[in-house]
Structure 1
Amino acid sequence: MRIAILGAESTGKSTLCHSLAARMRETGADVTVVGEYLREWCAEMMRTPLPQEQGGIALEQIRRIDTVRSPTVVADTTALMTAIYSDVLFQDDSLYPLAIEDIRRFQHVLVTATDLPWIADGFFRDSPQGQQAIHLRLQAVLRNHEIAYSMVYGNGEQRTQAAIAAIMPSQFSANADSETYNRWMARCEKCSDASCEHRLFRELTDG
């Protein structure tokens, strides 16, 4: 089983990858987490990629996922996020065919929502405005290509429970927090309006 964790900057993708993998291992699953190659690339080069370097980064992300032999893979981003950043930042849509073909090989696609506080991280992150642009574009691309996905909200255990509910319903133990997630996801799973997302989430958690 392949699970993709997608999302804009500062939305908790890496944290969710590891917490989800840990929870799945508790059920006896053999799970490998594949990290985000872009972060490694930026740390080594001490800068963000140029437009012409995006394709190589996308291919390396795919290669690293493909080399895993564990039955279950949790990918901290895929080539699709590279394609979306190329589109939004550089107006280059040339990576979409490769990225869409790749994402269709995943059994589950989880999108991390923008409810967590945006935190600066050197040159790795742009701005809250940039985050929203990527968030909206990601959902539009998934929707336009009819790729099913589940939105994941919340902090810590709440977010992990939401991910488990989406990919392992038979292992899911309902509680008050998870019931809130199920109601939100059922109402607005494919919403592409960030302000609407925040308003609905506040209504559910404050109500």
Structure 2
Amino acid sequence: MQAADIKRIAILGAESSGKSSLAEQLAAHYQTEWVPEYLREFVETHQRVPVEGDQFHIASTQVAREEQALSRANRFLFCDTTPLMTAIYSHFYFVQADAPLQQLTRARVYDFTIVTAPDLPWTPDGLQRESEAMRQMVHDELLKELQARAIPYLLVSGDMQHRMSLVHAALDAAGWI
């Protein structure tokens, strides 16, 4: 299958909302690849939260890993976050996303966007997760940003089985399965 034929599926959501679990489960179900969130690796490797100057590096590394995974993907590539989430967090923590990050965010297009609802129990995760209140604020900001950019999305909630069935129905309705 050609890389151009692979449907890139963005999985977006605030911290502790089940993005990684959903991406992994979908990839297993559809026997394809998923791209883990690079931010988690960054935090573990550097043993610190990112600073403003790290944001473009984090987003561009995420994109580079998506490109690498395309050659191994089968019909779908499930992307656990995108530059848009990095830009949203940049606004929260640094008041703005710098010009290169804004440009990368505008240039990166996905075939389908899934948003994970913050209805799972919030769990602390060392340096990477701040609070349940922050999770809700980020979720609200994400929905506003998707609306402002006219990016349609599927909001998934509930347990994993329910989330999987919602995604399967949406992919089927799109004629992709």
Which string of whole-angstrom CA distances, capped at 9 and with x for unpartnered residues, describes residues 4-41 of structure 1? 1000000000110011112223xxxxx11111000001
Q: Which residue of 1 aligns with 2:94?
A: 90
For structure 2, the 5+ residue unaligned runs are 1-6
Which string of whole-angstrom CA distances, capped at 9 and with x for unpartnered residues, describes residues 64-109 of structure 1? 111221242111111111111001111013323321321x2x1110
Paired with 1:139 and 1:41, the residues of 2 have a C-alpha distance of 26
1:18 correspondence with 2:24: yes
Change over 3 Å in CA distance of 1:171–1:84 after alignment to 2: closer
Q: Which residue of 1 aligns with 2:37?
A: 36
Q: Give, in angstroms, the shift of residue 168 of structure 1.
A: 2.6
Does the CA contact (< 8 Å) of 1:4 and 1:75 recur in 2? yes
- Secondary structure (helix, strand or coil) at the match of 1:168 reads helix
- The structure with the largest alpha-carbon Rg is 1
Q: Percent of pairs identical after alignment? A: 39
- Secondary structure (helix, strand or coil) at the match of 2:155 reads strand
Structure 1 stretches of 4+ moved >4 Å = none
Paired with 2:89 and 2:135, the residues of 1 have a C-alpha distance of 10
Q: Which amino acid letter does the alignment assign opposite residue 11 of structure 1?
A: S
- Secondary structure (helix, strand or coil) at the match of 2:30 reads helix
Q: Which residue of 1 aligns with 2:151?
A: 147
RMSD (Å), alpha carbons: 1.5
Count of aligned pairs between the two proteins: 165
Which string of whole-angstrom CA distances, capped at 9 and with x for unpartnered residues, describes residues 142-177 of structure 1? 1101111110011121111111112233699xxxxx
- Secondary structure (helix, strand or coil) at the match of 2:123 reads coil
Q: Which residue of 2 aligns with 1:59?
A: 60
Q: Which residue of 1 aligns with 2:161?
A: 157
Bigger RCO of structures 1 and 2 (CA < 8 A, at least 6 apart): 2
Paired with 1:53 and 1:160, the residues of 2 have a C-alpha distance of 33
Q: Which residue of 1 aligns with 2:9?
A: 3
What is the TM-score of this pair, normalised by structure 1? 0.76
Q: Which amino acid letter does the alignment assign opposite residue 38 of structure 1?
A: L
What is the TM-score of this pair, normalised by structure 2? 0.88
For structure 1, the 5+ residue unaligned runs are 26-30, 173-207
Change over 3 Å in CA distance of 1:156–1:93 after alignment to 2: same
Q: Which amino acid letter does the alignment assign opposite residue 146 of structure 2?
A: L
Paired with 2:94 and 2:124, the residues of 1 have a C-alpha distance of 21
Q: Which amino acid letter does the alignment assign opposite residue 144 of structure 2?
A: A
Q: Which amino acid letter does the alignment assign opposite residue 95 of structure 2?
A: Q
Which string of whole-angstrom CA distances, capped at 9 and with x for unpartnered residues, describes residues 92-144 of structure 1? 13323321321x2x111000001111111111101011111111111111110
- Secondary structure (helix, strand or coil) at the match of 2:125 reads coil
Q: Which amino acid letter does the alignment assign opposite residue 55 of structure 1?
A: F
1:132 correspondence with 2:133: no
